[in-house]
Structure 1
Amino acid sequence: MSRTGNQLARLESEEVARGIRMLLASPLLTAEREPDGFDLVRRRREPITKWFDFYCGWRLHVEPRAGYARLTKTTDRPDPTRPARRARSGGAPFDRRRYTLLCVVCAELLAGPATTIGLLADRVRQTTTVEGMPPFDPSRRDERSAFVDVLLFLQHHGAVKPVDGTTESFLDHPDAKVLYRVDATLVTRLLAVPTAPSTVDDVGSLTRENRYDDSSTAQRNLWTRHSVLRRLVDDPVVYRDELTDDQRAFLASPSGRKLVHTAVGIAGCTLEERAEGFVLVDADAIATDTRFPDDDSHAKVAALILLDRLGHGDASEDDLVAETDQLLTRFPNWAKAYRSDGGAARLADDGLALLRAFGLARVDDGNVSRLPAAARYAVEELHD
């Protein structure tokens, strides 16, 4: 191959690897929000689509004219540590009310290519009343706040776009005039499940993938391969004791190890293997949706302090609240959002939630223990 051919091949492999990692961090890429990322995925969509299908069993839909790429990251292990979050209120997670309104709003948005905030609110009020849900009452500020959070979430993902007025104006003025353009196709793409919700009664059935229902050896092997790669690319840490016997056998086999390292290499990452488990490392942090350690939030700072406390032995949740309370006392001008009654408990909960999400701590019956991956963040003493 000529020098030019080698350079082109190297460029393609680098762009494919970058596209894979970008989609792992942001399964929905839009041309409006991330033009460069979307353009890369659009150009390299064939090898990227094949990678996700072969190694993970995930489908990638790239719509060049509509301006979005959607990776459907199906899983049989719904992750409560990655909720939908509000664009306001410091990124607080959606509560039950907001999830309910999100589902109803999405259903109502399918009615046409355009709507107004008042018309949409009235339709949501009617639907919640008819369907026997807690009725939506736009005269209440807390209800309008939840409604606005839902619309801002959809707005962020490109499903709706205000063309006249601002969504936030509805908070203080229930009669606010806001006109939206609706992308109904993108609304339907937001839901990443293999089974229509209206046809099932439980979450287990919602996430069931029929392609693995065949009890043949080939189908079992396919599921093992896909389930292992899904865990490695999607979880911060994969511990051996959390894997099934088949998954551990796959990772221990020469063919399985070769396949995993090939997949990881194409994605531009490296695989760290320890006695306790595995960590997929992206040195460029492209595939990372959130970082730790990091000082961009009070919860992350508290999480690092709590992790250091757990380095001295297991602790109860009450012990960690006391540790957090001392932290707030030592720095009276810090973390003002946690200064109200119960603030120490809330900060400890938020910090502990981060440690659990990153696979660094485990809670069993109120007892908190540090997991092996936490050793990466241990403070080492320097000796002469």
Structure 2
Amino acid sequence: MIPAEEQAQRQAAIRALLAKPLLVAADDAEPLMLVRRHLPALSGWLRRETGWRLTADAETARLFKTAPLASGDATHPARGHNKEPFSRRRYVTLCLALSALARADAQTTLGSLADDVLTAAAEPGLAATGFMLTLDTRSDRADLVAVVRLLLTWGVLTRVAGDEDAYLSAGADVLYDVRRPVLGALLTGSRGPSTITARAFEARLAELTAEPVAETDELRNQALRRTLTRRLLDEPVVYYDELTEDERAYLVAQRHNITGRISEATGLLPELRAEGIAMVDPDDELTDVRMPEQRTDGHVTLLLAEYLAGRARAPRGELLAFVRRAAQAHAGYWRKGVTDPGAETELLDIALEKLTGLRLVDIDIEVTRDGTGTVIRGRPAIARFALAEPTIREPGSSPGRQIRKATAHAASTIF
């Protein structure tokens, strides 16, 4: 039996790794200390239950997650300092910057990094794909600055002097320290890139993340358990209809064992329903998309979830009209400009991005007699945001009974 204090420390350590798979001493001193203190137990659990590898030293702790999500999943992109999602262009720039930093000295400047990135971008193989980077325009420089600030957040770079805003506006330089131990821990995968032989991108990615093929029943069951545990840790909801037949059968049979082990290790609580499973965080820490959330965008998202919970599907035009009406009704509380012509488009896009990331809706293209249009379909878990009719208690009811406001509800067979 593990003492309660030790169990709490292990949970705190593994939760820190799930929230931030790369911990750096300068920014994450306390969780890094816990990870190092409980490294054998943590690495053993992660290797056994997920197949993930954990390393830690005095400067970093790195959880090497393999194949957490489908490569085509774009619902959780990297984001810049002002929360804008990374474009494909920025991802390419990030890769070029990392390549340049791998060959850089212990210190570098933004100007020097820019020169190295430009040189790499001019390589014939990359230029043949249509990628072009010049840094002649502010938007080009903004892409590089977004990449650098992401590297600052990760702890790969430490700013010594200067500021990126000055580089954007006046071309002033910025000096950085390069943390090589952190840089060396970034890449994850089951094999080194130099061993990849495929030429097409998807094939190369598949080789980079490929795992050994299970050849016995015991190894196949182990692979199923690891795959399902990864998904339950990584995804907001795991729906049975998205699993293979073998995965679904194994999860149905072993759901209590799998979710029990996850709950014991992380403190997450299982919500088991007919359509799937969600591991719920009672502390609301292990998520990059919160629901519900305050301010205008959060309120729009909550109202939209309620609206979609009562419908199987809704055309995009219908939702735009709904957001326009909501903006008029809540104009006094929402940010300025929400009733301006076209403002509903941005509000709807932000809300749908959140709902899609939480696996609450799907966005489809539907062809009808009237043409082609975008349709939003609610997933089962969105039922938790449906509203019940208010119940008014008659005068004279027992003191403990009060007027019940409309609250989220769901039948026992749905989320």
TM-score by length of 1: 0.89
Equivalent residue in structure 2 for 1:52, among 27, 32, 46: 46
- 1:162 aligned to which of 159, 167, 170: 159
> What are the within-5 Å matches in structure 2 for residues 44-193 of structure 1?
44-64=38-58, 67-75=59-67, 77-78=70-71, 79-88=73-82, 91-111=83-103, 112-131=105-124, 132-133=126-127, 134-174=131-171, 176-193=172-189
C-alpha deviation, 1:30, in angstroms:
1.7
Q: Is the 8 A contact 2:214 2:223 kept in 1?
A: no
Q: Equivalent residue for 1:244?
A: 244
Aligned-partner Cα distance in 2 for 1:11–1:120: 46
Quote the residue 2:324 is aligned against: 325
Alignment-mate amino acid for residue 109 of structure 1: L
CA contact (8 A) 2:60 2:181 kept: no
Q: Distance in 1 between matches of 2:340 and 2:213?
A: 52
Partner of 2:29: 35
Q: CA deviation at 1:331?
A: 4.1
Structure 2 partner of 1:347: 347
User: CA offsets per residue over residues 300-352 of structure 1, 9 Å max, x none?
Assistant: 32211111211332211121122222233344463447677643222212211
Aligned partners of 1:171, 1:207: CA distance in 2, in Å? 37
CA contact (8 A) 2:310 2:386 kept: no
Matches of 2:211 and 2:84, distance apart in 1: 36
* Per-residue CA distance 1:104-127 (angstroms, 9 max, x = gap): 011001112211111111111122
Distance 1:342 1:106, change over 3 A: farther
Change over 3 Å in CA distance of 1:339–1:110 after alignment to 2: farther
**C-alpha RMSD over aligned residues:** 2.3
Shift of 1:92: 0.7
What CA distance in whole angstroms lies between the structure 1 residues aligned with 2:27 and 2:106?
Answer: 20
Which residue number corresponds to residue 3 of structure 1?
A: none
Structure 1 CA distance, aligned partners of 2:280 and 2:138? Answer: 44
Q: Does the 8 A contact of 2:190 with 2:211 survive in 1?
A: no
CA contact (8 A) 1:22 1:286 kept: no
Q: Aligned equivalents of 2:181 and 2:35: distance in 1?
A: 19
**Unpaired segments ≥5 residues, structure 1:** 1-5
Measured in 2, the distance between the counterparts of 1:205 and 1:263 equals 32
Aligned to 2:382: 374
Instruction: For residue 46 of structure 1, report the CA deviation from its aligned partner.
Output: 1.7
- 2:363 is paired with a residue of what secondary structure? strand
C-alpha separation between the residues in 2 aligned to 1:60 and 1:341? 51
Unaligned runs of 5+ in 2: 366-373, 394-415
Indicate if the aligned counterparts of 2:309 and 2:385 stay in contact, CA closer than 8 A. Answer: no
Task: Determine which structure has the larger helix proportion and give its number.
Answer: 1
- Note the C-alpha offset of 1:372: 1.8
**Structure 2: distance between partners of 1:329 and 1:196:** 55
8 Å CA contact retained: 2:289, 2:357: no
1:186 CA displacement: 1.8
